[in-house]
Chains A and B, each alone.
Chain A
């Protein structure tokens, strides 16, 4: 039998070639052109990205604008409901950089989690929830930054449907007219982790803990890069442009080592309804397809992701896995928490690590952060709150990085 072989050097040469990304050859086209066309016809308002912004490249080579400030923070129900240190870290980072932002009370969840879990909604209702939130942001003059991976993906999906279908636009317009809100679509749908990516070197400049002996596995959130994939950021310098650049780029900037693993494309097992009412599926998938594979192939000190559902699933699923002797036992944090940790955020007042189930102590020990006095300080906060001597923990308690306030030299 004749066997065709290719010289190894030829294969290496081929693999080393950069595959040019050309937005004109992309399988999808730039949604913004259609948005501006609809605006020109008077159907919608397009909210422009405020200056200053950072330009990044998306999957197929389009330039995406990421605003730095004047941001309106579209929060995530999962983050704020049971991983509060996620949102708090995002806000802490803004405060450290002195950036202007709004944390609104005129915002609902995108309600997408419920929609994907139960389908007790419909296209007009889902698009109307999105457009009401976007209108609320527009009214303040601030630009929406989406905290949740699902809200980000769902909004892109709803935007596409709105642009494609006149009936849907008319249905949403009728609802918004009634409540007195304009039909506004932002020029870009921006995920907070893209803001993190744009500012990763700024965070690194303010770093007080050395992460150079830390290995991190990244779980890219499905709804960040799978639903309407053309808006996700990719960079040649990061896994050769074959993985999303957000999160991994931050880990690199902070000096830690991102480690690849074979099931990176798999979802975390969240499943929307599964994580709440059918957790056997969620646990099995999270442990067997993600955490175990990461540990066997990369043995990370931490898993970093950029969505609430992923942090929850990968973190909470490990407890039962341990009982069944699966290879588990790695802390799970968001990229915002990792950056805040590196910059000296208080582990409990800001990072709120006590809400995490997988053991985060070895990670803190490894970077040289003695967490015990800070836990004692936090317990004192709780005791004062119980006794009515303190209403709650505030930014005044939390803003100053821990090494700065104790005049401890940085390890970077």
Chain B
């Protein structure tokens, strides 16, 4: 259960070194991805001017405030409340995200499925769990919104955040076939019968 401080972008070797139950703190750039911008990228063939190679992308659509563009807020957006959304809806985008955009780390909550786990193994990727519903705390780890693309999809734009001490995040899926979600689900389904028998449900 090692702790890793990772400055983005990261190499395949750095990601291969991550194992489930390790923790990670991210430094540098974190991209914000979401349903609408991934539908645009992968279903509608839209391009982005961002280079996501080796980067971390978080499932998010933040609350932002429009401000006068400045050195601190070059996009004219100030981060107000940045948290994570449920990853499961975006399961089918994991593979194209890794293969077409070169993303290495996905930050989200609730976990991804077997298809994503296979893609992490083949490409060298990992899933970092951030605690869903703790956005006020996470916002304190976001320094600025550096850039934004596809803003016509607002708030589901493609966001580029500058982060500092973003974490600790839990490595919940790694590139070696490990998934905490799958482990917990198997255990929980194993407890189904006991729960039903406590409820007096006789099969």
Q: Do A and B bind each other?
A: no
